[in-house]
Every structure is written in C-alpha cells, then in structure tokens.
Amino acid sequence: MAIQPEFSHPVAVDSLIPDKPRRVRLAATAEECAALASRFDLQCLSGLTADLAVTRIAEGNIIKVEGDFEAEVVQTCVVSLQGVPAEIRAHLDTYFTEDGKEGFDGDEAADAAMEEEFPDTVMENGQLDLGELVAQYLALELDPYPRAPGVGLAAQLTENGGEKPNRPFEVLKNLTAKKDE
C-alpha cells in the first residue's frame, strides 16, 4: 500500500539528460504546509520552498540532488507547551541510483525485507519525488527538544510546585535525625 506524500513533486528519472542539471523550484501550498505540520507534529509550518538541481550522472546510473530549502515553523516547547518559532534554512546533497535501489550489505533477502518494512517513498517506479525528499530533510532539521526562550526545566518545576524546590534527600536527613533522638 503506497502512502501519498503530502508535498509530492515527482520527476521522471528517464526525462533527466545526463550531466545536465535540471533546476527545480518548489513551493508548498497552504494545504501542503498544514498536512506536513500535522505529520511532523508542528503547531504551524509556512513558507516551505526549495531550490534544487537534479543531475543524472552519465557514469554509473546515479542521480544527484543538491540544493537549499527553507521554512518557518512553530514547534511546541517541551517544558511550557508554548509555541517556539524557528526559521529553518538548510542545504541538502544526496544521491540515488536510477532504479531507486540502494543495497545495505549485498544480501538480496535482507534488502527485500528492509524494503517491505521501510518502503522507499522518495524513489518509486522511475519517479523521484523531490517534495517528499525536501519534507524528509525538513524533518531532520527540526529541533527534537524545542524550548521557548527563557524557559528552563528547573524554573518550570519550581513554578508549578511552589517555592519549595524538590529535595529528595531532605526526607532521608529527617529520618536519620529521628533515629538519633
């Protein structure tokens, strides 16, 4: 069962001329941004654009994709649950084989099992999906533990738990004081 990517912009590998880069500019629509925001658990995603060069390398049946992308995101702070806005500007540089197969260890059975468990959503049926490639690189650029400015875990715990900080060894100290009496 093939999953339809939210930001799909396929390019036919056969249409690429060897050693002649094809320039591609992508811009996500509001609907595509909303769908990607849902997929990546973002409060908001906007302004996702990419400028890419796709090159079919004559020797070796290899496709090179290189370029820059940018987006504005709002993630959820892991401490306060506030919105954490960020601008993402990143570069991608990757390679694919023309048939989309990239072996792991030469073991065809293991490769087939890996393909079944983790289907390739970027290269399929002679189509290279540049939108999905950009989406995957965007996911790699997201902060895994976003924090709002000025928010620290200790300050948040003190704020939620009152003025008295959590001191677990204070209880032990009180127990040993009672034994001495």
Distance CA 113, CA 15 (A): 30
Tell me if residue 106 falls in helix, strand or coil. Answer: coil
Structure tokens at 20: 């002649």
| Residues β-bridged to residue 63 | 56, 96
pLDDT in tens, the chain (181 residues): 456 789 999 999 889 989 999 999 999 999 999 999 999 999 999 999 999 999 998 777 889 999 999 999 999 998 889 999 999 999 999 998 876 554 344 556 555 554 554 445 677 888 899 999 999 999 999 999 999 888 776 655 555 555 555 666 776 776 766 666 6
Bridge-based pairing of strands 123-124 and 83-97 is unpaired
Q: Model-level pTM?
A: 0.74
CB contact set of 90 (below 8 Å; sequence gap of 6+): 68, 69, 70, 137, 138, 141
